[in-house]
Amino acid sequence: MHYLIRTLTGRGRDTALETEYSADQLTMGSGEKDTVQLPGLPGQLRFNPTGDGGASFSAKGLKATIGGDTTAKAKVAVGDQLKVPGYALEVIAAPTGFDFGLQVVSEGVSYADSMDIGERLWNMRRASWILATLVLVLCFVIPLGVLLSPDTAETLRDAPLPDDGMWSSGPLVSAHATAGIAEDCQSCHTTPFVMVEDQACLDCHRDIQEHVDIGIHGADDFSDVRCATCHREHNEPTTMVRMDNWLCVDCHAEPARFPKAEGMAEAHQFTPDEHPEFRIDLLVPKGRGGSMSWVYEPRRLNEPGLKEQSGLKFNHDVHLNPAKVKNLQTNEALVCNTCHQLEADDEHFAPITMDGECRSCHELTFDKHAPKQELPHGNTEAAIVAMEAHYIRQFTDPDLRAKRSSVRGSDSRRRKPGSKRNEGDTCNGTPFQCGRKETERQAGLQFSKTGCVTCHNVVDSESDNLLDRYYVQPVKITNDWYTGNRFDHRAHMAFQGENEDEVCMSCHEVKVSAVAEDILIPGRDNCLECHDDNQGDTTVYCVSCHAFHLPAGTMATKSRNAGLIPQNPHSGTEGE
């Protein structure tokens, strides 16, 4: 059974601290074995969920007041209020994923026993005033001296005297327990007796973005949401980074509340019915020719006709077929990491490049008489100029020209009777004319029939100027399909009994992909096989995959320091 206990704190009871518990039965009391601790409660409360949001209630050692009746056993439903010594309880609607919800408010309890003042050696009032004054001086007046000047603060912190460190409500997260922060409360608490302000956080965390673009979605939805509303310091080890799903579900369960958030789908938990299909960041080309560029467009994976437009021609099925393609150096079949190298973050892969992954098999040779001569890659004009320089030299040098015009040629094979000699091997013009002619012929082959056109889309303008005739459309392979999400590839490769290629292909259907336009990113159903919240095999939280501070969000230094987001210094006051 899963229980949600909401504890109201703060002076106005306007701040809630929600805690999750799991147990067969919810017990509350001051005993060490009770599920929820209620200090000072002279007994034990027990709740057994009935499945309709309510529960069977029983009490041991005390009675509770429910609707004006005092009882030790009752059925309670959503909205019922219970009063016990020192506490007020109310049954609340259990959120999705919980069996029972309860709100707790501490009303204070008196521990005073009857006593005979005449039996005391001290006058109780006098002793109380002395003790109160001593506590005030030691715990407030002396530590207050750190605010007078840096020198006074340093003296108090170095001497065996109480300083502002005793005001700390708990340990710092390890990242903050460093020089300049751990020993100097004023580095964060810049204004005395005011909760930590966002500007203090942003002095260090300057690259943090808001959850969204404030210019598009508006700042009102984030009013009074301080950094410390979610990031609660001095509460380690669990509250510096929120992991609970309510961080996200509070808003994403009702997307209709945010009309400006186009494409925001309803989400409650990771199940087939309560989580939308994944939305990828698809690179889409814009413009033509030299003005072409790519922009990311969010698209759902279940949209019809979805395809990648990288500008590359490629077939995974052929490259992964050992009967058709093998590594030229090792004569072994290609595997996934032949081309896809996982980077240090364990999420992304190093960009695919011609020199890094392709050239070892796909050499850019173009002349059989010069088998080591290769064309430059990535620059059409440079490739044509290189061909022209090469062929002019070939026809200028008498020895090279004679070699080209020989019947046997450089491959030492006889020409079949009736067949024609290669047009590029003979020429009767000047070296310049022959070089230009062979360049035009070879460029036609490279950009129209073999070579460049094998992997690239080439536009033939049929211009008389050879340098302007062919345009190779640029290539941009998507390197991050989910720019605002997290995924640990290395962790997912650690399946017992399977090698890395088997694991990769269990998610990415590359063996049946014949064109580069195929989007080989698995959808939601693939992940649900292991991470369905209904099954509970390998539960994940929203923030396990989704980043809260998105790359496309407004820089927090602009939105918060500039006052675009109204701030209430008393919002989210607990936990600091």
SS3 state at 507: helix
Residue 507 inside a domain? The answer is yes
Model confidence at 6: pLDDT above 80: yes
Q: What is the mean pLDDT of residues 99-123?
A: 65
- pLDDT the model gives residue 424: 54
Residues 101 and 170 in one domain: no
202, 218, 233 — which closes off a domain? Answer: 202
Measuring CA to CA, how many Å separate 27 from each of 16, 23, 291, 375, 416? 21, 9, 68, 77, 96
Model confidence at 422: pLDDT above 60: no
pLDDT tens sequence across 10-42: 666 777 889 999 999 999 999 989 999 999 899
pLDDT-derived band of residue 464, with 50, 70 and 90 as boundaries?
Answer: very high
First-to-last alpha carbon distance for the chain, in angstroms, is: 31
- pLDDT the model gives residue 413: 41
Model confidence at 388: pLDDT above 70: yes
CB neighbours of residue 397 within 10 Å: 13
Question: What is the residue range of 185's domain?
Answer: 127-202
- pLDDT the model gives residue 376: 95
Residues 42 and 138 in one domain: no
Model confidence at 114: pLDDT above 70: no
Which of 288, 308, 259 shows the shortest CA–CA distance to 479?
308
Paired tokens of 116? 């005979």
235 against 421, higher pLDDT: 235
Model confidence at 406: pLDDT above 80: no
Q: Which residues of 105-128 are buried (b: 16+ CB within 10 A; e: fewer)?
A: eeeeeeeeeeeeeeeeeeeeeeee
Model confidence at 408: pLDDT above 80: no
pLDDT-derived band of residue 574, with 50, 70 and 90 as boundaries?
Answer: very low
**Angstrom distance (rounded) from CA 306 to CA 470:** 29
Residue 413 inside a domain? The answer is no
Residues 149 and 93 in one domain: no
- The region of weakest confidence among 146-150, 185-189, 401-405, 441-445 is 146-150
Half-sphere exposure of 68 (CA within 13 A, CB side): 0
Residues 6 or more apart whose CB falls under 8 angstroms from that of 471 comprise 289, 380, 458, 459, 461
Residues 347 and 485 in one domain: yes
Q: What is the mean pLDDT of residues 66-87?
A: 93
- pLDDT the model gives residue 355: 92
Paired tokens of 347? 């999420």
Residue 553 inside a domain? The answer is no
CB neighbours of residue 139 within 10 Å: 13
- The alpha carbon of 144 is separated from its chain's Cα centroid by a whole number of angstroms, namely 42
172, 202, 232 — which closes off a domain? Answer: 202
Integer-rounded Cα Rg, in Å, for the chain is 36
Residue 430 inside a domain? The answer is no
**Angstrom distance (rounded) from CA 361 to CA 340:** 16
Residue 98 inside a domain? The answer is yes
**Angstrom distance (rounded) from CA 265 to CA 405:** 70
Dihedrals φ, ψ of 31, to 5°? -75, 155
Overall number of domains in the chain: 3
429 against 82, higher pLDDT: 82
**Angstrom distance (rounded) from CA 421 to CA 431:** 19
380 against 560, higher pLDDT: 380
Can you list the alpha helix ranges (DSSP code H) found in 431-555? 431-448, 452-455, 466-469, 489-492, 500-507, 524-531, 542-545
pLDDT-derived band of residue 108, with 50, 70 and 90 as boundaries?
Answer: low
**Angstrom distance (rounded) from CA 476 to CA 293:** 9
Please report, for the domain that includes residue 84, its CATH number.
2.60.200.20
pLDDT-derived band of residue 573, with 50, 70 and 90 as boundaries?
Answer: very low
Model confidence at 416: pLDDT above 80: no
**Angstrom distance (rounded) from CA 37 to CA 87:** 12
pLDDT-derived band of residue 410, with 50, 70 and 90 as boundaries?
Answer: very low
- pLDDT the model gives residue 12: 63
SS3 state at 439: helix
Q: What is the mean pLDDT of residues 246-270?
A: 88
Hey, CA dihedral for 273, 261, 226, 234, is it positive or negative?
A: positive
In sequence order, what DSSP letters do the residues of 458-491 get, joined into one string? EEE---SSHHHHEEEPP----S-S-TTB---HHH
SS3 state at 317: helix
**Angstrom distance (rounded) from CA 395 to CA 80:** 99
Percent of residues, the chain, with pLDDT higher than 70: 89
Model confidence at 249: pLDDT above 60: yes
Residues 6 or more apart whose CB falls under 8 angstroms from that of 276 comprise 265, 266, 267, 300, 524
Residue 152 inside a domain? The answer is yes
Residues 80 and 18 in one domain: yes
Residues 143 and 59 in one domain: no
The conformation of residue 564, written as its DSSP 8-state character, comes to: S
Paired tokens of 113? 């026993």
Residues 40 and 181 in one domain: no
Model confidence at 415: pLDDT above 50: no
Identity at 37, one-letter amino acid code: Q
Model confidence at 277: pLDDT above 80: yes
Strand 44-49 versus strand 26-29 pairing type: antiparallel
170, 202, 234 — which closes off a domain? Answer: 202
> What value does the mean pLDDT of the chain take?
85
pLDDT tens sequence across 489-548: 999 988 766 788 899 999 999 999 999 999 999 999 999 999 998 887 788 899 999 988
Residue 460 inside a domain? The answer is no
Measuring CA to CA, how many Å separate 526 from each of 277, 508, 520? 11, 10, 12
Residues 348 and 483 in one domain: yes
Bridge partners of 22, per DSSP, are 2
Residues 6 and 66 in one domain: yes
- pLDDT the model gives residue 4: 93
Residues 153 and 8 in one domain: no
pLDDT-derived band of residue 478, with 50, 70 and 90 as boundaries?
Answer: very high
Residue 91 inside a domain? The answer is yes
Residues 22 and 159 in one domain: no
pLDDT tens sequence across 158-193: 777 777 777 778 888 888 888 778 878 888 888 888
The answer to whether the CB of 22 falls within 8 A of the CB of 36 is: no
Residues 81 and 137 in one domain: no
Q: What is the mean pLDDT of residues 106-114?
A: 56
pTM above 0.85, yes or no: no
Model confidence at 468: pLDDT above 60: yes
317 against 185, higher pLDDT: 317
Q: What is the mean pLDDT of residues 318-344?
A: 92
Per-residue 3-state assignment (H helix, E strand, C coil) for 26-75? EEEECCCCCCEECCCCCCEEEEEECCCCCEEEEEECCCEEECCEEECEEE
The answer to whether the CB of 79 falls within 8 A of the CB of 66 is: no
Q: What is the mean pLDDT of residues 463-490?
A: 92
184 against 65, higher pLDDT: 65
- pLDDT the model gives residue 111: 44
- pLDDT the model gives residue 140: 81
292 against 6, higher pLDDT: 6
